[in-house]
Amino acid sequence: MLSQEFVSAIGGPPLGANTAVSKDVGIYCHALTPSHAVKATFKKSSVPVNCLAVNDTHIFAAQNQKAHVHVYSRLRGNQEALVPFPERIRSLALADQVLVLGTAEGRLFLWEVCTGRQVSTPPCHVQAVSCLAVTPYHILSGSDDSNINVWSLSRLLGLDAQSEHEPELTLSNHRGAITSLVAGPSTNSETSICVSASKDKTCIVWNFRTGQVLRTLLFPAAPLCACLDPSARALFVASDDGALFLVELFGGDKPVLGSRSTEPASIVVQVNAPLAVSDPEAGEPSCLALTYDGTSILSGHTKGKIFRWSLADNAHPTELANLNASVTNLCFVSPLPATPSTKAINIVKPNLSLKQYAFTAQLESDLGSSTRFGQMLGTKGFASQSIETATPSLFPSSSIEEPDQELARQNEQFWVIINNNRALQKPDFHQPAAGQSPA
């Protein structure tokens, strides 16, 4: 059975005098399978919604109504640092070794945790950045001003200090604050989709590379949180009335996207039938997380409970834990993470006064040359070397051999002419014998 772990965070004061819950604990590390258990805890943290980011070595948690981030070491099991910033933090996301922070003033901070370099953008949102989504090449920022900005990650991290940091696109079809933002794993410009949830009771499926609206979904209540399955084929949405919805994007009787969709993108799809509804005593759902095997989904609620919903039998949810405070964030740890070439054992705090930065990390990979098979496995698509090797096979062999044969024939004729000329021009160096006159 696949072993799966997830991290949960709470925010706000305790809901009651529950002696079964440890005091001052704000972040929990759970093991979900084969049986649920709390593996580690971290204290002194009150994390708002969309303000938790986790990687293999650290946990980054912004604090409620404060302008600093708590950094916890997963390797040592303690708090490593408290990192201050100029503005209050409203959202967090990790882009490899870069922590992206959305502020209450509508700007982004990018902090390279291995160098301490910090990059900031102008306040391109007129209200707080409420949620973030990260792809390998882009950052998507959703705001309370109902807009979504699409940023190029490479341009934001460029070393040109004179460049103006502006979003590539602004997606502005919503009429309410953005509550959740998720992006698919594809890097192709034609299949780069993201889904935004808003208080206007809609979720919009976008192609964020072109700005095209692919579909608008209308719900009976305002969607508070959303998540996509790992292949971006199904969308899960939880609304403020406790309902959990499942929307098949490409499958089902009426697919929302793809070639089998019979309705144009301008038609709004009404989503009425929920997959399940949580008990009102659990409070509003504030976060969702889908397991990597796709069999169940977790939901965190304002009354401190974490529910597990089975997608196989659509049964009533089972209660995993009661944390005695509002559950604000759920984040699964990948069971098959990509092996990075470096690992940040200790983070480097931001330092704006430095002009040069040192990269501090631990090497995790072999610096020797990899095999051709390993390069093919690690390349997205086809490796350039494989394409160069396979290209000659697309042409007939005669078209390649004929020029070579013609050159060889001409070369032989040329050498015959040269040898004949040498024979004609060769002088006669035979000397006459004694007593004989030269001829």
Residue 171 burial by Cβ neighbours in a 10 Å radius (0-12, 13-18, 19+):
buried
Task: Give the model's pLDDT for residue 10.
Answer: 94
Phi, psi of 13 (to 5 degrees): -75, 165
Q: Is the peptide bond before 34 cis (omega within 30 degrees of 0)?
A: yes
DSSP codes, 270-294: E----SEE--GGG--EEEEEE-TTS
8 Å CB contact between 333 and 5: yes
Residue 325 near residue 305 (C-beta atoms within 8 A): no
- The pLDDT value recorded for residue 194 is 95
Side chain identity, residue 335? P
Q: Residue 28's closest CA among 427, 356, 330?
A: 330
The predicted-structure confidence for 103-127, as pLDDT tens digits, reads as follows 999 999 999 999 999 999 999 999 9
pLDDT score, position 363: 84
Is residue 168 within 8 Å of 207, Cβ to Cβ? Answer: no
Per mean pLDDT, which range of 159-168, 221-230, 285-294, 392-401 is the poorest?
392-401
Q: Give per-residue pLDDT as tens, 138-151.
A: 999 999 999 999 99
The pLDDT of residue 213 is above 90? yes
Cα torsion for 189, 192, 198, 200, to the nearest 10°? 60
Share of the chain above pLDDT 90, in %: 55
Higher pLDDT, 105 or 374: 105
Calculate the average pLDDT of the chain. 87
Burial (CB count within 10 angstroms: exposed 0-12, middle 13-18, buried 19+), residue 427: exposed
Convert 76-114 into a string of H (helix), E (strand) and C (coil). Answer: CCEEEEEEECCCCEEEEEEECCEEEEEECCCCEEEEECC
Q: End-to-end CA distance of the chain: give it in Å, rounded.
A: 106
pLDDT at 431 over 60: no
Average pLDDT of the residues in 228-257: 89
For residue 243, the model assigns a pLDDT of: 92
Residues in CB range of 177: below 8 A, 6 or more apart = 127, 130, 143, 144, 145, 146, 198, 199
pLDDT the model gives residue 60: 97
Residue 193 in this model has a pLDDT that exceeds 90: yes
409 pLDDT band (50/70/90 cuts)?
confident
Q: What is the pLDDT of residue 429?
A: 47
Which single residue is written with the structure tokens 């009429």?
Answer: 175
Number of C-alpha atoms within 13 angstroms, CB side, residue 346? Answer: 5
Exposed, middle or buried: residue 66 (CB in 10 Å: 0-12, 13-18, 19+)?
middle
Using an 8 Å Cβ cutoff, are 186 and 193 in contact? yes
What is the pLDDT, as a whole number, of residue 368?
64
Q: According to the model, what pLDDT value does residue 387 have?
A: 80
pTM for the full predicted model: 0.81
